Structure 1
Amino acid sequence: MSDDHTHVQEFFTARAADWDRRFPDDGPAYAAAVTALGLRPGDRVLDAGCGTGRALPPLRAAVGTSGVVLGVDLTPAMLHEAVRAGRDRDGRLLLADVIALPLRTAAIDAVFAAGLISHLPHPGEDLRELARVVRPGGTLALFHPIGRAALAARQGRRITPDGLRAEVNLRPLLAGTGWRMTSYIDEDDRFLALAVREG
């Protein structure tokens, strides 16, 4: 594992046990973002950087019992918390890095990624790997339960135009990694960028 990935793992390991208690009111925002992904019963969906698995129940509800829900995370402590919360009942949990997913090419219909993009050491490579596992025409949701400005304020910093999630930066990044952005919302109570896998 690279130093960058080790730092990400250490960050989340230190916070895993307390994660859900720190953000108890995010459930409706997760459910709304999953709805925006437009999943259908029987779809195969990947929660990339699933953390404690808060998106797994709404993802399972969207794809039904005939669908496949996979949750992938780099941090064992986060997956442990997902199991402790019983969310492994809604999806299969895999310890893996998004830079090298243990999935076949075009095996997935959609990817849900909550808070992931801010923690990618190599966003271009990681988004390209997500594109690899999604079928042409499949979808990607890059989500955060609060917008860029609200998150910056929470962290005691200013929003900057060079941020990765700024539309002017994110749109070409997605375009260069196999995705076409179809929607971009950055409001105080949510960040949601939707993209389609190019053929």
Structure 2
Amino acid sequence: MADDQTHVQDFFTPRAAAWDSRFPDDGPVYAAAVGELGLRPGGAVLDAGCGTGRALPALRKAVGPGGAVLGADLTPPMLDAATRAGRGTSGALLLADVARLPLRTGVLDAVFAAGLISHLPQPARGLSELARVVRPGGRLALFHPIGRAALAARHGRDVSDDDLRAKPRLAPLLADAGWRLDAYTDEDSRYLALAVRTG
């Protein structure tokens, strides 16, 4: 597991300082995706793999001042960038592996995860841990500001059905981890898979 963590940190550490400047116009699509989580004032939500915390202000707005917003990330420079951007005022920032969260079982209403699943060394384990900390009936949003085909093109690859985010692969993976896929959108302008925590 330590090697898996090192691999993730090695990827994100050199990119942390310039991360937001690479994607300066993503705020509205993050806010729209957060809006589909169905959060209520006073709710408790985790931004899993929060990076520079771009979703935290929208999550705070959704749950209001009486809600709880947590941002967890494995890479200290990403959390430092979130703090420098002032996003730590929207939620508590935790240095944590999303596959081993320091949270009680069933304490959250929802999890928001932008770009996370493709960086999970053990996706089934990570999704199971996210299910553990969410109450039955709670929600999960797996989000990316562009869809699978656009992302593959950006990296000079073809889109593949072997991708974990492809619906035929994702639905059973979620089901095995304690989630039911409820809605699935994969278009050039965004990727959003919404799932419900099964009982």
The bucket for the TM-score relative to the shorter chain is over 0.9
* CA-CA distance at 1:5 after TM superposition: 1.7
1:80-99 CA-to-partner distances (Å, cap 9, x unmatched) read: 00000000000000000011
> Is residue 3 from structure 1 mapped to residue 3 from structure 2 by the alignment?
yes
User: Which residue matches 1:148?
Assistant: 148
Q: CA deviation at 1:53?
A: 0.2
Task: Note the residue ranges of structure 1 that are not aligned, 5 or more in a row.
Answer: none
SS in 1 for 2:59: helix
Q: Which residue of 2 aligns with 1:181?
A: 181
TM-score, scaled relative to structure 1: 0.99
Aligned to 1:52: 52
How many aligned residue pairs are there?
199
Matched, 1:169 2:169: yes
Which residue in 1 is equivalent to 2:80? 80
Q: Which letter maps to 1:197?
A: R
Overall identity of the aligned pairs, in %: 72
Large movers: runs of 4+ above 2 Å: none
- In the alignment, the residues of structure 2 paired with residue 190 and residue 139 of structure 1 have an alpha-carbon distance, to the nearest angstrom, of 19
- Amino acid paired to 1:127: L
Q: TM-score, normalised by structure 2?
A: 0.99
Deviation at 1:3, TM superposition (A): 1.3
Counterpart in the other structure of 2:16: 16
Map 1:57-76 onto structure 2 (within 5 A): 57-76=57-76
Tell me by how many angstroms 1:2 deviates: 2.1
Q: SS where residue 17 of structure 1 aligns?
A: coil
- The separation in 2 between residues aligned to 1:19 and 1:55, in whole angstroms, is 14
1:125 counterpart residue number: 125
Deviation per CA, 1:53-91: give whole Å up to 9, x if none. Answer: 000000000000000000000000000000000000000
The code of the aligned residue for 2:80 comes to H
- Unmatched 5+ stretches in structure 2: none
Matched residue SS, 2:17: helix
| Structure 1 residue 30: Cα displacement | 0.1
Q: Secondary structure at the match of 2:162?
A: coil
* Residue of structure 1 in register with 2:26 after alignment: 26
Indicate the SS of the match to 2:99. coil
Q: How many angstroms does 1:4 deviate by?
A: 1.8
Which residue of structure 1 lines up, in the alignment, with residue 37 of structure 2?
Answer: 37
Please state whether the residue corresponding to 1:186 is helix, strand or coil: strand
Letter in 2 for 1:65: P
Equivalent position amino acid for 2:147 in 1 = G
Q: Give the partner amino acid of 2:106.
A: A
